Amino acid sequence: MVERQIGLPITSRVVNNLNPVPVEIFNSEALGEKRPFRKTRLMRKIEKQRNGTPIERILHNLYWDQKKSYRDIVQDLDLKDPKTVSSWMHRLDVRTRSPREGYELYSRNPQKLQDSAKRIIETRKRRKIARIRQALGIEENQGLKTALEEIYKKEGSKKRIRQRIRETGVVVSSHFIGKLAEEIGAQLQKGRAIEIVAQKEEKAKKKEELRAAVRKAHKNGSFSLLTPRQQLVLGLRFLYKDKQPTHRECAEMLGTTRSRQAIQETERSALRKLGL
């Protein structure tokens, strides 16, 4: 009688001659075909821990009376996945909350609503990244950062990567690819751009080494081998305390009609005399 009032399914005990353990079977309307649903060992174990209370009543109490979510029920019953709770409630005909009821419940606790929204966003993002991995042929043991950099170097643009992903049916934007690369710290540069950056770094390193060598030559008196003009040019180019001036700026500082090419030639001849 109580079961009819609370809207829970009526159960009947069936004893199998081959198996003396009593097993409850449900004629669940939620399954659609009126197929009997046999309780699992885990369900019976939980019922035994709760002093024989039927599993459907335990779920109803936790979900409706205590107003707990699937994740909270998973922790209470020591389960692994919220999908298990959802499946049990569906098979045992325990009514679940409508979207409106769920929102009203969460709106009473803003922090819980915010955590739920954040969890949904993270789940969707994780699934999308998994689909991107599958679409680009990136293995699970391969780092996403390295793989994305190699693919970008090969394809040449985020647009081409997006087209390649969309061919597999995964909808993704170039902005999402850029945002993902920024979060994981991937440097999305074209192959040519990477070479240019490397060349600039190498050139700056050589220039600094040359500057240190000229300063060393100036200290040990090797400048006496140079002409006054060569000393002046090397002094402006390599011994200047502030930013190193260009050849054109050196020509302007000297106040002569000599061009940038003439300053370069003077610098080369002076460096040859110093053995640099």
| Cα dist from 51 to 1, 55, 85, 93, 207, whole Å | 21, 11, 20, 22, 82
Rounded to whole angstroms, how far apart are CA atoms 92 and 255? 95
What is the pLDDT, as a whole number, of residue 16?
Answer: 39
77 — pLDDT class (breaks 50, 70, 90): very high
Q: Which of 13-22, 121-130, 250-259 has the highest mean pLDDT?
A: 121-130
- pLDDT, tens only, 160-201: 888 888 888 888 887 888 888 877 777 766 555 556 667 778
Q: Per the confidence metrics, is the pTM higher than 0.75?
A: no
27 — pLDDT class (breaks 50, 70, 90): low
7 — pLDDT class (breaks 50, 70, 90): very low
- pLDDT, tens only, 210-239: 888 888 888 888 888 888 888 888 888 887
Amino acid at 154: K
In this model, does residue 129 exceed pLDDT 60? yes
Compute φ and ψ for 94, nearest 5 degrees.
-90, 120
